Amino acid sequence: MTHRGQSRRESAVVTPNTTRRNALFVAAAASAGAVAAPFVGNAQVSVGRKLKIQSLWTENTIGYRTFETWCKSIVELTAGEIEFVPFAGGTVSEIFDMMTATSAGVLDGMHWVPHYAAITGAMPAGALLTSFPMGLPHPHQWDMLFDSYGGTELARELYARHGLHYVGHVHHDMNLIHSNKPIRSLDDFRGLNLRMPGGIVADCFEAIGARTIALAGSEVQPALASGAIDAADFTGPAMNYDLGFAEVSKYIVMGPTSTPCLHQPVDLTIVVFNQNVWNSFPAATQELLTELVRAFSIKHFTAHQEANVAAWTKFAEAGVEVTRLSEDDVGRFRKIALPLWFEWANRDTDSARVFKLHLDVMLNPAVAYINPEDIKDFELKL
């Protein structure tokens, strides 16, 4: 694949004072609170380089506001070496095309969802680099996968083949299903026109009789409003309230209290840079930005959880009803999902390599999400 050469802007990099850099590095690594408040431009800090970075989130959402605040903090935290210029989803590149745009240098970096790489066919393993049906249900287990089991290094290898550098994962929220029809069992999905992000998630719902449709995030609320779809998966409560889902759907469909989300319980996003851009940074800058993405993950997650508290109340006040599937539905859905895990994992060697890490975490005695008996009839083709 051919990539654009380095920008002329790269010659303008300003090397910050080493002492100041080390202090900023420690502050960023020690606390996500470093990006909790907006940063005001410092007249004494001259910006050496501006980088375009687009989020998948659209404007006027908690997701984009959090992303924008983080971007504005970068010029201060790099002592003026770098400024991130933030763009909302769809403004520079269409959301499904962001990987191509970043690889080509149209964008310098992106805040994206790896599942989209599987939908477009660019990277089938992307389906397993974020949440999938009945997968690991808690954020800290995904931290184990990436930080303790080698997931970050493997993701970097896979993205490097596309001229990209995978910096790290960013926690977000569970995903909800909004519906204009009451859904109280898996059987109620049969025949529904249901927006899903494609891939393994769509396959699981098609297996229970739904007709799935892949739509970009910006298209979901209008499709619900027009009746083009009956129900839709999208992000968590605060994001969906910001996007007007309370105005176009009567129900939120969730699992039972033991399993609030069956299909995407930990919807991970990622931060990725054009490889040439990343390689142009000094090693100390690369290390600093990696830590700042870790801090962004904490802030991104906690900002959504805080906003969710108010969002649940707002949905209730708007008359939106939360319906719940049963424990029996959880068991049925798991039996549907588990063979599809292996089907998707065996589509190529890279997918199998990623899924092997999932199995390792799931079988960890401290996690105990599955046991060897659950998977004895399946083969992972490494």
Q: Decide if pLDDT at 292 tops 50.
A: yes
Strands (E), the chain: 50-55, 83-87, 109-112, 164-173, 176-179, 193-195, 211-213, 231-234, 251-254, 267-274, 321-324
Distance, first Cα to last Cα, the chain: 26
Q: Decide if pLDDT at 133 tops 70.
A: yes
84 compared with 7, residue with greater pLDDT: 84
Give the residue from 195, 198, 190 showing the smallest Cα distance to 178.
Answer: 195
* % of the chain with per-residue pLDDT over 70: 88
Sheet holding 50-55, edge to edge: 83-87, 50-55, 109-112, 267-274, 164-173
* % of the chain with per-residue pLDDT over 90: 84
Give the pLDDT of residue 218: 81
Which single residue is written with the structure tokens 């070496």? 81
Give the pLDDT of residue 318: 98
Which single residue is written with the structure tokens 């080698």? 150
User: Distance between CA 106 and CA 104 in Å, rounded?
Assistant: 6
User: Distance between CA 78 and CA 25 in Å, rounded?
Assistant: 9
The amino acid sitting at 234 is: F
User: Distance between CA 172 and CA 195 in Å, rounded?
Assistant: 20
Q: Decide if pLDDT at 13 tops 50.
A: no
User: Distance between CA 292 and CA 196 in Å, rounded?
Assistant: 31
β-partners of residue 179 are: 231, 251
Give the pLDDT of residue 22: 44
Where are the alpha helices (H) located in 78-178, listed in sequence order? 98-104, 115-119, 139-143, 151-160
Q: Decide if pLDDT at 276 tops 80.
A: yes
Q: Decide if pLDDT at 152 tops 70.
A: yes
Give the pLDDT of residue 47: 64
Q: Decide if pLDDT at 339 tops 80.
A: yes
Give the pLDDT of residue 217: 77
The amino acid sitting at 166 is: Y
Q: Decide if pLDDT at 16 tops 80.
A: no
Q: Which domains does the chain have, with CATH numbers?
A: 49-172+266-309 (3.40.190.170)
The 3-state DSSP class for residue 81 equals coil
Choice among 26-40, 207-221, 222-236 with the minimum mean pLDDT: 26-40
Q: Decide if pLDDT at 290 tops 50.
A: yes
User: Distance between CA 61 and CA 88 in Å, rounded?
Assistant: 10
Give the pLDDT of residue 50: 97
Q: Decide if pLDDT at 349 tops 80.
A: yes
CB 48 within 8 A of CB 11: no
Q: Decide if pLDDT at 139 tops 60.
A: yes
User: Distance between CA 196 and CA 215 in Å, rounded?
Assistant: 7
Give the residue from 111, 36, 113 showing the smallest Cα distance to 306.
Answer: 36
- What is the CB neighbour count within 10 angstroms for residue 80? 19
User: Distance between CA 351 and CA 11 in Å, rounded?
Assistant: 39
CA 189 to each of CA 103, 180, 201, 230, 232: distance values in angstroms, whole numbers, following the listed order = 38, 12, 14, 10, 11
Q: Decide if pLDDT at 367 tops 70.
A: yes
* Residues 6+ positions from 259 with CB-CB distance below 8 Å: 137, 265, 330
Which single residue is written with the structure tokens 């083709």? 381
Give the residue from 18, 33, 4, 11 showing the smallest Cα distance to 285.
Answer: 18
- Provide the angle, in degrees to the nearest 10, between the axes of the packed helices 199-207 and 327-345: 130
- What is the CB neighbour count within 10 angstroms for residue 287? 14
156 compared with 27, residue with greater pLDDT: 156
β-partners of residue 322 are: 252
Give the pLDDT of residue 52: 98
Give the pLDDT of residue 198: 87
CB 304 within 8 A of CB 62: yes
pLDDT in tens, 41-94: 444 555 689 999 999 999 999 999 999 999 999 999 999 999 999 999 999 999
When the pLDDT of each residue in the chain is averaged and rounded to a whole number, the result is 90
Give the pLDDT of residue 37: 37
pTM of the model: 0.87
Q: Decide if pLDDT at 176 tops 70.
A: yes
Give the pLDDT of residue 223: 96
Q: In this structure, are strands 193-195 and 164-173 parallel, antiparallel, or unpaired?
A: unpaired
Q: Decide if pLDDT at 158 tops 80.
A: yes
Q: Decide if pLDDT at 226 tops 60.
A: yes
